[in-house]
Amino acid sequence: GENVEQHPSTLSVQEGDSAVIKCTYSDSASNYFPWYKQELGKRPQLIIDIRSNVGEKKDQRIAVTLNKTAKHFSLHITETQPEDSAVYFCAAHNDYKLSFGAGTTVTVRA
């Protein structure tokens, strides 16, 4: 089955700085890579996703990159704001199911 590793487990950044979270996956058949944000006590919500035929995708302050050869993908958040503080999960999907990373707790310091 798919194994997704996510690093770091915690990340503290100064407001306005960038945050980068990295994930690797094991199954070369995986073809869809979503990122979810989960605020304390709330549900995970999709913030951005990328498919295997795309190398990079941006949405305002958020970007995701994918390297299929190396089997890793990353989330980049620029100009971080206090509301970016949350747990972020990467995931990888093959034709059968979605496997999540362990999560990264991001804290944005004012």
Partner 1 sequence: DAGVIQSPRHEVTEMGQEVTLRCKPISGHDYLFWYRQTMMRGLELLIYFNNNVPIDDSGMPEDRFSAKMPNASFSTLKIQPSEPRDSAVYFCASSFGHPNTEAFFGQGTRLTVV
Nearer to partner 1, 77 or 90 (CB): 90
In sign, the C-alpha dihedral spanning 36, 90, 12, 57 is negative
Dist. CA 1–CA 37, nearest whole Å:
24
Whole-angstrom CA distances from 102 to 8, 42, 107 are: 10, 17, 16
User: Is 100 among the residues that bind partner 1 (CB under 8 A)?
Assistant: yes
Report, in Å, the least distance between residue 15 CB and partner 1. Answer: 27
User: Is 80 among the residues that bind partner 1 (CB under 8 A)?
Assistant: no
Q: Given candidates 76, 98, 105, 107, which one binds partner 1 under the rule CB under 8 A?
A: 98
Q: Given candidates 24, 66, 86, 101, which one binds partner 1 under the rule CB under 8 A?
A: 101
Dist. CA 9–CA 21, nearest whole Å:
9
Dist. CA 51–CA 48, nearest whole Å:
11
**Token pair of 34 as six digits:** 């979503």
Nearer to partner 1, 51 or 109 (CB): 51
Report, in Å, the least distance between residue 88 CB and partner 1. Answer: 12
Where do contacts with partner 1 occur on this chain (CB under 8 A)?
A: 31-32, 34, 42-46, 49, 51, 89, 93-103
